[in-house]
Amino acid sequence: MDLKNLKRGSVILLLVFLLSACQQQLAKSQYPLHYSGAIMGTTFTIKVSSLTDSLTSDALKTQIKALLDQLNGQMSTYQQDSELSKINQNHSSEWITVSESLYIVLKQANVISKLSNGAFDITVGPLVNLWGFGPNDMSFAAPTDEKIAQQLSNVGFKYLLFNDDKHQIKKQNPMLYLDLSAIAKGYAVDQVGLLLEKNGMSNYMVEIGGELRLKGHNLQNKLWRIAVEKPAANQRMIQKVLPISNVSLATSGDYRNFFELDGVRFSHTIDPRSGKPITHKLASITILSDTTMKADALATALMVLGVDQGYQLAEKEDIAALFIIKTKDGFIEKASTSFVARLR
């Protein structure tokens, strides 16, 4: 997390919020809480349609910012003294006690890894770094096969062991390096949502870097209207508008965070099986789920699997997924049965 996306001079906002221009002006000034800022190397926006008396808008913002800073301090690979960075620097196989939040995210990551047969894998960190998408490396060059093989030997979610009673983890391979960039933003969205709900607010939209949670209604007393962006690198156009609520939504795509070398595009999504960025024709994928953490991780998992295997998994596991596929004549959509049902 942190600065990764900004580093490439592009903001990885995969979604735009569709409101007509004047509606947007109106809505912006009238939302009792409309809070935007930067966190986790990307931007966030929070809108609450109706505030309760329990907290002022400023007090709520202070609490939200404190929560986001706390989560970043637990899960960032860009912050050298974060809880996760310390685990990454600890090259041993001892049991390590971790915070509750971090434990929950690591366990959910493990579930999605198993579900996707290793397509989603937070131990892919060394390869993310090798390909220049990590905290340190700014050199956008394809690494040699030898270097890839070297790093692959330290990748594998099976090397991360859990003790549920003690909230402990163990790196069976001491060189394991964990990267939560594909799941932590989703968890943070859920936690902000919970904070709002604890304070009695049930009509809100929380978004961090394109991962969203929607609850209740917008300022016009209608469902939230979320636009999935057309997955093209050099334009910002709307592919599809989803009127939805009481759901989480995440999008993964290869059209914002990538580098190009000799006309070949290298995505920031790495296939942990090959050690290389994905190259298939899937341009973006949008997932609807009950938690944003799950939606976030599933979006990356299905992005790695590609259209055919991804669609198969979505059908088998009842995942609501919208695939946007590149063809020579433009983009085509393919929705899983559960996605179609969810929007009916």
Q: Using CB distances below 5 to 8 A depending on partner kind, what does residue 76 bind out of Mg ion, ligand ADP, none?
A: none
Taking CB under 6 A as the criterion, the residue among 272, 275, 306, 310 binding ligand ADP is 272
Please check whether residue 233 is in contact with residue 268, taking contact to mean a CB–CB distance below 8 angstroms.
Answer: no
Query: Least distance (Å) from Mg ion to the CB of residue 293?
Result: 10
When asked if residue 47 is in the footprint of ligand ADP (CB under 6 A), the reply is no
Tell me phi and psi for residue 53, to 5 degrees: -80, -10
Per CB under 6 A, the segment of 50-58, 119-127, 135-143, 219-227 that binds ligand ADP is 119-127
- Name the CA dihedral angle for 258, 260, 265, 268, rounded to a multiple of 10 degrees: -20
When asked if residue 190 is in the footprint of ligand ADP (CB under 6 A), the reply is no
Q: Using CB distances below 5 to 8 A depending on partner kind, what does residue 179 bind out of Mg ion, ligand ADP, none?
A: ligand ADP
Q: Would you tell me how many other CB atoms lie within 10 Å of the CB of residue 322?
A: 24
Compute the Cα dihedral for 316, 231, 251, 87 and give only its sign.
positive
Closest CA to 19 of 197, 223, 189: 223
Query: Least distance (Å) from ligand ADP to the CB of residue 285?
Result: 9
- Measured over all CA atoms, what is the biggest interatomic distance in the chain, rounded to whole angstroms? 61
User: Which run of H or E residues covers position 322?
Assistant: strand 320-327
Q: Using CB distances below 5 to 8 A depending on partner kind, what does residue 269 bind out of ligand ADP, Mg ion, none?
A: ligand ADP
Taking CB under 6 A as the criterion, the residue among 8, 47, 171, 268 binding ligand ADP is 268
Query: Least distance (Å) from ligand ADP to the CB of residue 21?
Result: 26
Compute the Cα dihedral for 167, 172, 177, 181 and give only its sign.
negative
When asked if residue 252 is in the footprint of ligand ADP (CB under 6 A), the reply is yes
Residues 290-309 that bind Mg ion (CB under 5 A): 296
> Which lies closer to Mg ion via its Cβ, residue 60 or residue 285?
285
Query: Least distance (Å) from ligand ADP to the CB of residue 15?
Result: 10
User: Which run of H or E residues covers position 107?
Assistant: helix 100-115
Q: Using CB distances below 5 to 8 A depending on partner kind, what does residue 43 bind out of ligand ADP, Mg ion, none?
A: none
Determine the residue type at 233: A
Residues 232-251 that bind ligand ADP (CB under 6 A): 251
Closest CA to 47 of 193, 191, 186: 193
Closest CA to 224 of 48, 51, 61: 48
When asked if residue 2 is in the footprint of ligand ADP (CB under 6 A), the reply is no
Query: Least distance (Å) from ligand ADP to the CB of residue 128?
Result: 4
Rg (CA), the chain: 20
Q: Which two tokens stand for residue 323?
A: 């695939």
Taking CB under 6 A as the criterion, the residue among 193, 253, 275, 306 binding ligand ADP is 253
User: Which run of H or E residues covers position 17?
Assistant: strand 15-17
How many residues touch ligand ADP under the rule CB under 6 A: the total is 24
When asked if residue 299 is in the footprint of ligand ADP (CB under 6 A), the reply is yes
**Residues engaged in binding Mg ion (CB under 5 A):** 296
**Residues engaged in binding ligand ADP (CB under 6 A):** 12, 14, 120-122, 124, 128, 133, 179, 181-182, 185, 210, 251-253, 268-270, 272, 296, 299-300, 304
